[in-house]
Amino acid sequence: MKLVTFEVGSNIGALLRVGAVVDDVIVDLQIAFKLYLREALGVARAAELAGAIIPGGMLAFIENGPVALEAAGQALDHLGAAGTPMVVERERAAYRVSEVRLRAPIPRPVSLRDTLNFEVHLKNAMKALNRDIPKLWYELPTFYRTTHTNVAGPEDPIMWPSFTEQLDYELEFACCIGKEGKSIPRDKASDYIFGYTIFNDISARDILAKELGLGVGPAKGKNFANANIMGPCLVTADEIDADNVRMVARINGEVWSEGNSKDMHFKFSELIEYLTMDEPIYPGEFIASGTVGFGCCLELGKWIKPGDVVELEVEGIGVLRNTVMDKA
């Protein structure tokens, strides 16, 4: 199932809703489930029950676990994938994609960890910085926490910070945690993954190079408005083989980067095992794959500029598209 957070207008302002993408239609899952309860099951208080099982926010939907997913499936089956009505009894059950604004799947995730998982990318990046890959990298999964309070989504602008001259994209995707756990063994890790989305880790390269020389994780080099972009949807884990998906980056329609998740040194199951050692993890946390080999400007020796359209495509998820703005 391809799930989205979308924005619609109302008499009290913009509202965020949870939807499912069916061809070129977005089904409002809460409304659709209410119709199912009322029309198929004859539930008198269908609105209250639907609101409790399929809330308006994606995080709450994920926290409701299998019950919410089962309800979403029942709602979609009831409406019918081919003939989904746009309006039922004056209630909007579905929208054309062109009618709504898509947001990041979870605009404010619980947390966002990024990793360094592709050897080719790291070799290229270290060469550009006149450094070698530490031997320990091959033994310990490397990660850092980044901004999660302001995640941008599809078609949101890539903001050019006032303090950098070298802005970079990074071709990645990320898993979303679906339930709470701690000290999770890798053979059980798949049970904790709700789904996957595309992740564009925007970086101020010149600032980042200086910060890394201090021996600490990224700071302003990766933390500014719209630096973390996710979307366009959150695809449930049952629909993707995360260990073998094709990844492509296009700038103004031209392919700049290509790769495959099979080249990740540590798989998501191994990352989850390591990250949760003696530490709990919660629904709505994201773990990013790291940048695929040749998946950013630093490796390619050419740079994005204001006005460029950056498209990241990950097989089975879709295309995440954003435009670079002028320098602040």
Q: For residue 280, how many other CB atoms are within 10 A of its CB? A: 11
- Same domain flag for 249 and 290: yes
Decide if 32 contacts 76 (C-beta within 8 A).
yes
Q: Is the pLDDT of residue 101 over 80?
A: yes
Q: What is the mean pLDDT of the chain?
A: 93
- Given a cut of 50, whether residue 20 has pLDDT beyond it is yes
Least confident of 19-33, 174-188, 255-269: 19-33
Q: Are residues 132 and 262 in the same domain?
A: yes
Q: What gap in Å lies between CA 137 and CA 3, rounded to an integer?
A: 35
Q: Are residues 192 and 271 in the same domain?
A: yes
Same domain, 9 and 130: no
With CA atoms as reference, report the closest residue to 234 among 173, 145, 143, 190: 173
> Looking at residue 213, what is its pLDDT?
79
Local structure of residue 232 (DSSP, 8 states): E
Considering the chain, what percentage of its residues have pLDDT values greater than 70? 97
51 and 142 share one domain: no
Please tell me whether residues 309 and 175 are part of one structural domain: yes
63 shares a domain with 138: no
Where among 68, 103, 138 does a domain terminate? 103
Beta-bridge partner residues of 264: 118
pLDDT band at residue 84 using 50, 70 and 90 as cut-offs: low
Averaged over 49-68, what is the pLDDT?
97
Collapsing DSSP to helix, strand or coil, 289 comes out as coil
- Give the pLDDT band of residue 244 (cuts 50, 70, 90): very high
d(CA 9, CA 101): 10
318 shares a domain with 198 = yes
Tell the burial category of 110 from Cβ atoms under 10 Å away from its Cβ (0-12, 13-18, 19+).
middle
> Mean pLDDT over residues 108-127, rounded?
94
Backbone Cα Rg of the chain: 20
- Tell me the residue range of the domain where 57 lies: 2-103
DSSP class of residue 85 equals: -
* DSSP track, 92-158: E-EEEGGGSEEE-SSSS-SEEEEE--BHHHHHHHHHHTT----GGGGTS--EEE---SS-B-TT--E
Question: With contact defined as beta carbons under 8 Å apart, do 196 and 175 qualify?
Answer: yes
In this prediction, residue 308 has a pLDDT band, given cuts at 50, 70 and 90, of very high
pLDDT on residue 89:
59
Distance CA 51, CA 58 (A): 12
pLDDT band at 81 (very low <50, low <70, confident <90, very high): very low
pTM here is 0.95
Q: How confident is the model at residue 86 (pLDDT cuts 50, 70, 90)?
A: low
Cβ–Cβ under 8 Å, residues 46 and 54: no
Same domain, 98 and 56: yes
Q: Label residue 88 by pLDDT band (50, 70, 90).
A: low
The larger pLDDT score, comparing residue 269 to residue 9, is at 269
Tokens representing 134 are 């530490």
Predicted local distance difference test score (pLDDT) of residue 82? 39
For residues 312 and 171, the answer to whether their CB atoms sit within 8 Å is yes
Are 176 and 125 in the same domain?
A: yes
Give me the percent of the chain exceeding a pLDDT of 90.
80
Say whether pLDDT at 179 is over 70: yes
pLDDT in tens, 133-167: 999 999 999 899 998 988 999 999 999 999 999 99
- 326 CB neighbour count, 10 Å cutoff: 10
Mean pLDDT of 234-253: 98
Last residue of a domain, one of 103, 137, 153: 103
| Mean pLDDT on 304-312 | 98
> In terms of Cα–Cα distance, which of 288, 242, 235 is closest to 261?
242
Supply the CATH number for residue 303's domain: 3.90.850.10
pLDDT computed for residue 140 by the predictor: 93
Reply yes or no on whether the pLDDT at 302 is more than 80: yes
Indicate whether 79 and 119 sit together in one domain.
no
The answer to whether the beta carbons of residues 235 and 196 sit under 8 Å apart is yes
Query: Does the pLDDT at position 200 exceed 90?
Result: yes
Query: pLDDT-derived band of residue 118, with 50, 70 and 90 as boundaries?
Result: very high
Q: Binning pLDDT at 50, 70 and 90, where does residue 24 land?
A: confident
Last residue of a domain, one of 103, 128, 153: 103
Beta carbons within 8 Å of 11's beta carbon, 6+ residues apart? none
Task: Say which CATH number the domain at 85 has.
Answer: 2.30.30.230
Number of separate domains in the chain: 2
- 99 and 57 in one domain? yes
